[in-house]
Amino acid sequence: MARPPKHLPHLLLAVALAAGSGAALAQESLTVVSWGGAYGAAQKKHVIDPYQKETGVRVLFEDYTGGVAEIKAQVESGNIQWDVVDFEVIDLERACSEGLLEDIPRDILPPGVDGTPAAQDFIPEALASECAVGNIVWSVVFAYNERTIGGAKPASLEDFFDTAKIPGKRALRKRPQVNLEWALMADGVAPEDVYEVLATAEGQQRAFDKLNSIRNDLVWFDSWSQAPQLLNDGGAVLVQSANGRFYDAIRQENKPFVIVWDGHVYDLDAWAIVKGSPKKELALKFIAYATGSKPLAGMPDVAYGPTRKSSMPLADQSATPHLPTAHLDQGIQAGSEFWADYGESLGEKFNEWLLR
């Protein structure tokens, strides 16, 4: 009977170890974390893949669902798994001030393809935080489905809260952010005063009262990816989501969705480096590359606006009218400082209101 050689397991182990260390030596790697979905696919196509090709660095491109928890856990335990993270600016302010992120010197950013220095090429909001470099402008909007909407069509935030004019369910993401801003704007608060009003106890009451007026017609979801689904299968007639998610469903899957831009709340996403990352130098190089004119010019594929002015001429022009930057006068910028202050206390109040 043929028996396997006695030393086979050791041999295999040795081979495996050699292969493992060999791969590590041959190639540098970097862990980059973002949001997945259509946005992640666009980043992979226009940022990650060309970067790997040009530099030979292997990028492990992972998904997360936002928030600061994982990064805080990694920094506190000293076991840094992620190097570069795509942040929503709402979370960025807190992560930065809690010391969870590295500083990013501005001089690493190359000038635009047209030669404009980075400081002038970027929109000012993209460079507002010393911990990150903004890469896209995106927006929270609501949309309806031509097939399910019926006679009257919504044109404004007031219509979103008017169940007599447009009967049916409305779907919102289950959190106070954006929803309270919408409630106040629909209740007649001027867009520029929203955060001032929301900082007062009366203003908060007013916002919750407005939400309460349509409480029985509200459906809540937890992740942006659920939103187009809800709109498609009729779970709700008016659905809130990131503009890119709707745009992708309209363009790639020919869904009869119509986006309403009135009162949209726009925000930036930004690249940041987790504090204590052993690959900080490489991470800085990656961010400098990822926020260059050309990679950013790919973001309009999913209707997110690039933060560099020099990217626009390089981008797919058919998307221009669908970018948040084409509708800035109809919306407000998300108050990252406000939500750093009131995120937790309004989060508790919001949960209490949900349970009422």
Partner 1 sequence: MPSRSALLHALTAGEARQAAVVRRRKRLLALAFVLPLLLFILLSFVVPIGSMLWRSLYHPAVAEMIPHTLVELRQWDGQGLPGEPALQRFVEELYALNRERQSGRLAEEFNRAYAGMSSVVKSTARRLGRLDEPALATEGVATLLDSHANWRKPELWRAIERAGRVYTYDYYLTALDLEVDAEQGLRVRQDTQIYLQLYAKTLKLALVITLLCALLGYPLAYYLASLPEHRANLLLVLVLLPFWTSLLVRTTAWIALLQTNGVINTLLTGSGLLDQPLEMLYTSFATVVAMTHILLPFMILPLYSVMRGIDPSYLRAALSLGARPLPAFARIYFPMTLPGLSAGTLLVFIISVGYYITPALVGGTDGQMISNIIAFHMQRSNNWELAAALGSLLLALILLLYWLYDRLVGAGNIRLG
**Separation between Cα atoms, residue 48 and residue 38, nearest integer Å:** 14
Nearest one of 161, 205, 167 to 187, comparing CA atoms: 161
The nearest distance, CB 121 to partner 1, in angstroms, is: 27
Question: What is the DSSP annotation of 98-167?
Answer: TT-B----GGGSPPPTT---HHHHB-GGGGSSTTEEEEEEEEEEEEEETTT--SS---SHHHHT-TTTS-
The nearest distance, CB 92 to partner 1, in angstroms, is: 12
Nearer to partner 1, 21 or 223 (CB): 223
**Separation between Cα atoms, residue 186 and residue 156, nearest integer Å:** 8
The nearest distance, CB 247 to partner 1, in angstroms, is: 24
The nearest distance, CB 103 to partner 1, in angstroms, is: 8
Which helix (H) or strand (E) segment holds residue 355: the answer is: helix 336-355
The nearest distance, CB 35 to partner 1, in angstroms, is: 15
Q: Calculate the dihedral angle through the C-alpha atoms of 242, 247, 250, 255, rounding to the nearest 10 degrees.
A: 10
Nearer to partner 1, 49 or 222 (CB): 222
The nearest distance, CB 294 to partner 1, in angstroms, is: 33
Task: List C-alpha distances in Å: 191 to 27, 62, 179, 186, 332.
Answer: 51, 36, 14, 10, 6
The nearest distance, CB 33 to partner 1, in angstroms, is: 15
Q: Which parts of this chain interact with partner 1 (CB under 8 A)?
A: 67-69, 72, 94, 96-99, 169, 174-175, 199, 218-222, 233-235, 337-338, 340-345, 347-349, 351-352, 354-355
Nearer to partner 1, 96 or 303 (CB): 96
Nearer to partner 1, 129 or 293 (CB): 129
- Provide CB contacts within 8 A for 109, sequence distance 6+: 118, 122, 133, 288, 291
Nearer to partner 1, 138 or 342 (CB): 342
Give the phi and the psi of residue 288 in degrees, each rounded to 5: -60, -40
The nearest distance, CB 353 to partner 1, in angstroms, is: 9
Joined together, the tokens standing for residue 174 give 């289950």
Nearer to partner 1, 9 or 99 (CB): 99
Helix axis angle, 336-355 to 201-212, nearest 10°: 50
Nearer to partner 1, 8 or 199 (CB): 199
Task: List C-alpha distances in Å: 348 to 92, 104, 215, 216, 344.
Answer: 21, 33, 18, 20, 6
Nearer to partner 1, 98 or 162 (CB): 98
